[in-house]
């Protein structure tokens, strides 16, 4: 019984940190010259690509609560494409900076085959052009920097807002 009580107190204390408003630092942060583990090379086996996708999702999730900032591409504030650019860059993956360019990167993925780390593109302005990008974290969920009034957060692809605006998914790796 004493161990359960300690675990509950430990978990409660850990969650209190998130309510301070502090912006978490992304993880892991590979050093480009160190040959850090987790940086994908074109010759990497399929298993490491999947592991990197989960690490990318983890980095994106660690940034939840970061405010939206038009043109932002660092933890002081992100726009949607700056968020994607920053998260992938933390893992040594070069990604174009704009939504338009990102929507042409990588390979098309069927919505039924989404994996963590896939990019999701949406048309939010009434056209059929990609105007918003997010990162799949698995299942029906994605993380993104949504708008000038928002902050980095998790949402559902099947929601009444996002489902009709979804255009396509792309896999960079």
Residue with tokens 């675990």, as numbered in its chain? 7
In a domain, 34, yes or no: no
Q: How many CB atoms lie within 10 A of CB 29?
A: 10
Question: Could you give the residue ranges of the DSSP H alpha helices within 43-164?
Answer: 46-62, 80-89, 99-102
How many residues are present in the chain?
173
* Catalytic annotation, residues: 80, 132, 144
Over residues 96-117, the mean pLDDT reads: 96
For the whole model, what pTM was predicted?
A: 0.72
Residue pair 83/145 in contact (Cβ under 8 Å)? The answer is yes
Range of the domain at 143: 46-171
In a domain, 148, yes or no: yes
In a domain, 91, yes or no: yes
- CATH code for the domain in which residue 146 is found: 3.90.1720.10
In a domain, 2, yes or no: no
What are 133-171's pLDDT values in tens digits? Answer: 999 999 999 999 998 789 999 999 999 999 999 999 999
Residue with tokens 């939840």, as numbered in its chain? 64
Structural domains of the chain, count: 1
What are 57-105's pLDDT values in tens digits? Answer: 999 999 999 999 999 999 999 999 999 999 999 999 999 999 999 999 9
């Amino acid at each position: 019984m004493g161990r359960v009580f300690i675990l509950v107190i430990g978990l409660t204390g850990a969650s209190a940190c998130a309510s301070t408003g502090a912006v978490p630092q992304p993880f892991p942060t590979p050093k480009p010259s160190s040959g850090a583990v987790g940086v994908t090379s074109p010759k990497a086996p399929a298993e490491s690509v999947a592991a990197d996708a989960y690490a990318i999702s983890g980095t994106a999730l660690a940034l939840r609560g970061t405010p939206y900032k038009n043109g932002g591409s660092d933890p002081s504030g992100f726009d949607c494409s700056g968020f994607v650019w920053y998260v992938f860059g933390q893992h040594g993956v070069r990604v174009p900076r704009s939504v338009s360019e990102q929507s042409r990167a990588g390979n098309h993925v069927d919505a039924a085959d989404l994996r963590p780390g896939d990019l999701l593109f949406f048309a939010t302005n009434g056209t059929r052009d990609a105007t918003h990008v997010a990162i799949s974290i698995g299942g029906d969920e994605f993380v993104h920097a949504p708008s000038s009034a928002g902050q980095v957060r998790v949402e559902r692809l099947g929601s009444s807002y996002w489902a009709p605006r979804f255009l396509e998914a792309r896999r960079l790796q």
